Amino acid sequence: MDVPALLDRDGLLAAWRRLVTGAEFGQQDRCELDERGEVVMNLRPSARRQIVLTDVYCHVTEQMWGISSPCVPVITPSFGIRVPDVVWMSCDKCEGFDRDEPVPFVPDLCVEVLLDSDRSHDIDRRVTSYLAGGATEVIVVCHSGKVEFWDAAGRTQASVFGIAPSLDDMYFEENGGVAPAPSVRS
């Protein structure tokens, strides 16, 4: 059985350019590429998830000096081109790369919001890939509203950056139709 080869950075970028050129309007922000350059289509986020994502983005922007952005494609060394819900990086890292292309490195902070997301099945790989690619921290907002912080040593009690997002419980009500997910990498 032939196993497709893993693509290097140039191969991923070429596949990404073909993808965004051929994607229908409004579809690019839902697309990712796996490590073999195959398209991974994410579900369109619900209004609740978009609100939580925006809240997290605002907390990061208000609490840290640097560049933060929601839904930016990032090249990971082992998991293809992925689009974390929020990224942050120091200002000095923002120089010298084309902003119309995926970020050529993993930013210092990556955040994943799992509320009604189809990313739960691969969250362990996402966390591991972001950290292996150079992220200092990964924050995971679980279906239940629990916020988890991860660094290279594993799960931590608090953010190494001092971020303390306070998210409204109304978006995470267990009786509101969102089934709580098990803790990530427990």
CA distance 103 to 4: 24
What mean pLDDT is predicted for residues 105-131?
91
pLDDT given for residue 125 in this prediction = 93
Band (182; pLDDT cuts 50, 70, 90): very low
- Backbone φ, ψ for residue 159 (5° rounding): -70, 135
Tokens 């369109």 correspond to 44
Band (20; pLDDT cuts 50, 70, 90): confident
* CA angle, residues 157, 159, 127, in degrees to nearest 5: 90
Mean confidence (pLDDT) of the chain? 85
The sign of the torsion formed by the CA atoms of 169, 52, 79, 32 equals positive
pLDDT given for residue 151 in this prediction = 97
Strand, coil or helix: what is 11?
Answer: helix
Query: Model confidence over 124-164: pLDDT tens digits?
Result: 999 999 999 999 999 999 989 999 999 999 999 999 999 98
pLDDT given for residue 23 in this prediction = 67
CA distance 9 to 104: 8
Residue 185 has pLDDT above 70, yes or no: no
Residue 123 has pLDDT above 90, yes or no: yes
The proportion of the chain whose per-residue pLDDT surpasses 90, expressed as a percent, equals 52
Task: Locate 147 and state its tokens.
Answer: 């916020």
Query: Model confidence over 50-99: pLDDT tens digits?
Result: 999 999 999 999 999 889 999 999 999 889 999 999 999 988 887 777 77
CA distance 59 to 7: 35
pLDDT given for residue 26 in this prediction = 57
Q: For the purposes of burial, counting CB atoms within 10 Å of the CB of 33, is it exposed (0-12), middle (13-18) or buried (19 or more)? A: buried
pLDDT given for residue 105 in this prediction = 93
Strand, coil or helix: what is 86?
Answer: strand
Which domains, and CATH codes, for the chain? 44-176 (3.90.1570.10)
